[in-house]
A and B are shown apart, each in its own frame.
Chain A
Amino acid sequence: MQGTTAVPDIEIIVKDIGGGGGGPIPPPDGGDDGDNGGDDRNRRRRWSPSPKRYSTAITIGIVSILMFFMALASAFIVLRRGSDLWVTVHLPRILWANTCVLLASSFTLESARQRLYLADASGFRKFWLMTTVLGFLFVAGQLVAWRQLVAQGVYIASNQASSFFYIFTGAHAVHLLGGVGALLFVGFRKFEKTKISLPAAAEITSYYWHFMDGLWIFLLALLYLGK
């Protein structure tokens, strides 16, 4: 009989990980809902939702962000093919330097995670900080690229190619700044107080960061080949 099957093992294991912290755990996301009295709050703490939810969320978030950029990319392709008078934008040279900075940041991020795995806290902090600085450097480099184009008289409204250049780089920079925020959060947060462990947080941040990296390569290739 199907209904007689007891609790599957995997669910129990997951629960054990969740409750394993032992210490006082705040509601998820700092959900400081004032609607619980003291008794209810204690009861709520005992129930700890699976920590897997963060990595699931980042996966679905990445797919969703990818759809966003795919819509923009397909708009680019449709307009590029439909237009005979496509005025090309000469990509500023600094973009290649920026790309190198971003690629390097992915490597430093992985080095940081390796240091964390080896329980080398100071090494982890050093590489993690380096990644954050490289992230800021990339965004600053993109701003320099914008300024260079503006100096040449290429604005967002100049032509369709320039519109796409600014929209692509702008939207990517906004999403990347979210990643920088995550890097700062992981770098400076005291992890005894949070629900998520430091290695898990670092892993999730690394997924997002590498995704931003790959996305930039894709957008750059699109802009370069669309000339």
Chain B
Amino acid sequence: MSKDDSNANQPETLKNGFLSRHVFSSNHKAIGLNYLWLALLSVFLGMAMSLLMRIHLAWPAVHLPFLSSLGNLPDRFAALTTLHGSLMVFLVLTAAPQAGFGNYFLPLQIGAREMAFPTLNLFAFWLTVASLFGMTSTFFPSPQPAITLWIVSVAIFCVASLLNALNFSVTAIDLRAPGMTLPRLPLTVWAWFINAILGALIFSILLAACICLLSDRLMGTHFFPELNFISSQPAGAVANAVPVLWRRLFWFFAQAEVYVAMLPCFGLTTHLISTFSRKPVWKERLVVLALCGVGVFGFCVWGQHVFSSGMNPFSPLVFSLLASSLGLPATIFIISWFGTLWNARVQLNTAMLFALGFISLFLSGGLSGIFLARHDLAAAAVSDDFVTGHFHLVMGVAATFAILGSLFFWFPKLFGRRLNEPLGKIHFWLTFAGVYCVFMPMHWLGLIAHSRVSPVSGLTSIALPGSSIHTFITVAILLTVFAQGLFLINFLWSLFRGERVLETNPWRATTLEWSVSSPPPADDFGVTDPVVYRGAYEFSVPDAADDFVPQHLAPEQVVKARKAGE
């Protein structure tokens, strides 16, 4: 123990080379950090792409230097949209909260020294890298081989996610420290665990769909025939069922994927809110049930997206009901967050601001989701800017806020330094205002396009490319992206020059990762194995000396601390 303390705030020992310490290490902390670096790279790539798209929409005549060198063709724009979506959804929203923070902190929070299968973990990480490489390189070849390459990359990502899901669920089930019973698990761990189970189910469906699609493209099978194939068949032979198949398989995955991105964020946000409100999570058991509910319902709502596809007329009703029933766990989260915040001595630091921003975005995004869960309304609003605005608010930006909040929260543990608070707050407010300015007008655009009030009136011209509202969105996104530069400066500066954290528990938090030095030693807990004595959210305990009791503190130590405090 003492040996570990002596170099507590140093980077790990420099005995081995950079590659074996960081790149090819099967240590869960190294892998978790690598996932975060990967997500950081992907998020900036994806943001650059959205910027290109928005500039094109606002000023269609402008020739972009990079894009014109590749030929200013419509399929370049389509490729840009696809690539933006796949990078953001797979490499950022799926990878960062689950694989990134999860790999680093799941073993630390449950008192394990490693994931259940470290070599498998390393293998999954490199599969993810291969899939990122495959996806980004699809931008350069001509469309047909590029699409094949993209599908292969997605299939590789599925395999990586399946291996990750396996590793996470086994770790959470079998590697918990003595005393870490299920009710004492931090909600972050619950979220990672339920998410892993959901991922193990849905990524194998996407993998099956990808394999059918690849066999169509490479071996000439007809699982999902192209349009020319349908037209070459006798009328009614192939029937409507054929395109429905792809939609079913795809949406089975894609609708649940939204919850795969959101579930860890619910856990992270609840954790941050409880810690910085200095209060236990209000109705913690109910929140765990709600997390399970999101997993179960999220797995069942896939039919919500196939309303218009000739299914049995009763099935839309069932799925509409199921989709609406997701409102129940969502309401439980919101009530619990407000219950925790009620009468609390809230510490408004940047991490907490991002958690509160998550609630705001989740609420406003969720409200427009109610429109989409009604299948008659969805038919009018679907497919356009309304949906784009909805899912960017609720899934993309809200999840990003949870990721940023967690980064501000865990940065001292990850690197032994703090992120700069004033810079972080400026970054938060600019981003918060920016995303509302970008995505709220998008809802409006979607409604205008479908209002059909009178086609000749000035209303429809608002929605045309190059109109003032498009320009407004584009200017807003430019400012928001520049605000992210502020974050990048803060991140890089704090990494090397930020204020050092000398104590192990700067936020006065309760979970096990704060009982070890920052950054944690190579084997996480030093010589003694951790033992857990209490739940994860014992804040403002009446008879304790401090306003929090860490999970690893034995009852007799609490008594001693109280006597010393008196």
Contact = CB atoms under 8 A, between A and B. Distances in A.
A34 B25 contact: yes
Contact of A33 (B27, B117, B174, B240): B27
A56 B15 contact: no
Given A47-B113, A79-B241, A81-B241, A35 B522 contact: yes
A188 B197 CA distance: 33
A81 B238 CA distance: 10
A152 interface: no
B25 to A, nearest CB: 5
A97 interface: no
B242 A53 contact: no
Given A31-B26, A39-B3, A53-B175, A71 B208 contact: yes
A43 interface: yes
B212 A72 contact: yes
A5 B533 CA distance: 7
Nearest to B239: A82
A57 B166 contact: yes
A25 to B, nearest CB: 13
Contacts of A82: 238-242, 244-245
A35 B116 contact: no
Contacts of B237: 83-85
A20 interface: no
Interface stretch (B219-227, B268-276, B289-297, B350-358): B219-227
B16 interface: yes
Interface string B116-129: 11111000000000
Interface stretch (A7-15, A99-107, A135-143): A7-15
Contacts of A44: 113-114, 523
Interface stretch (A88-96, A155-163, A209-217): A155-163
A200 interface: no
A75 B170 contact: no
B170 A171 contact: no
Given A2-B534, A8-B178, A163-B223, A28 B241 contact: no
Contacts, number: 189
Interface in A19-51: 27-37, 39-40, 43-44, 47, 49-50
B241 A157 contact: no
A31 B118 contact: yes
Given A64-B165, A67-B204, A78-B244, A35 B223 contact: no
A75 B21 contact: no
A64 B200 contact: yes
A63 interface: yes
A28 B27 CA distance: 12
A28 to B, nearest CB: 6
Interface in B353-385: none
B215 interface: yes
Contacts of A163: 215, 221-223
A118 interface: no
B178 A15 contact: yes
B150 interface: no
A60 interface: yes
B244 A43 contact: no
B248 interface: yes
Contact of A60 (B166, B175, B207, B222): B166
A211 to B, nearest CB: 14
A33 B22 CA distance: 10
A67 B205 contact: yes
A52 interface: yes
Given A3-B534, A35-B522, A67 B174 contact: no
Interface string B15-37: 11000110011110010000000
A65 interface: yes
Interface in B211-255: 211-212, 215, 219-223, 233-234, 236-242, 244-245, 248-249, 252
B252 A71 contact: yes
A192 to B, nearest CB: 21
Given A3-B533, A71-B208, A71-B252, A63 B242 contact: no
Nearest to B525: A47
A36 B522 contact: yes
A50 B115 CA distance: 11
A3 B538 contact: yes
Interface in B156-197: 162, 165-166, 169-171, 173-176, 178-179, 181, 197
A181 interface: no
A60 B170 contact: yes
A83 B15 CA distance: 65
Nearest to A61: B166
Nearest to B180: A11
B189 to A, nearest CB: 16
A27 B118 contact: yes
Contact of B175 (A29, A49, A70, A81): A49
A61 to B, nearest CB: 6
B25 A57 contact: no
A36 B237 CA distance: 64
B212 A167 contact: yes
B483 interface: no
B523 A29 contact: no
Nearest to A72: B208
Contacts of A61: 166
A29 B174 contact: no
B249 A33 contact: no
Contact of A28 (B114, B240, B549, B555): B114
A185 interface: no
B555 A75 contact: no
A63 B3 CA distance: 44
A39 B7 CA distance: 15
A4 B555 contact: yes
B173 A56 contact: yes
Contacts of B178: 7-8, 11-12, 15
A3 B211 CA distance: 51
B208 A56 contact: no
Nearest to A68: B204
Given A4-B555, A83-B237, A53 B3 contact: no
A11 B220 CA distance: 54
Given A67-B204, A85-B233, A160-B221, 16 more contacts: A12-B178, A28-B118, A29-B119, A32-B26, A49-B116, A56-B174, A60-B197, A64-B165, A64-B201, A68-B207, A71-B204, A72-B208, A82-B245, A83-B237, A83-B238, A167-B221
10 contacts: A2-B534, A12-B178, A28-B116, A33-B118, A57-B166, A71-B204, A72-B212, A82-B239, A82-B244, A171-B211
10 nearest A-B pairs in the assembled complex, by CB-CB distance? A82-B241, A157-B220, A71-B208, A3-B534, A31-B118, A68-B204, A163-B221, A34-B20, A29-B119, A53-B174
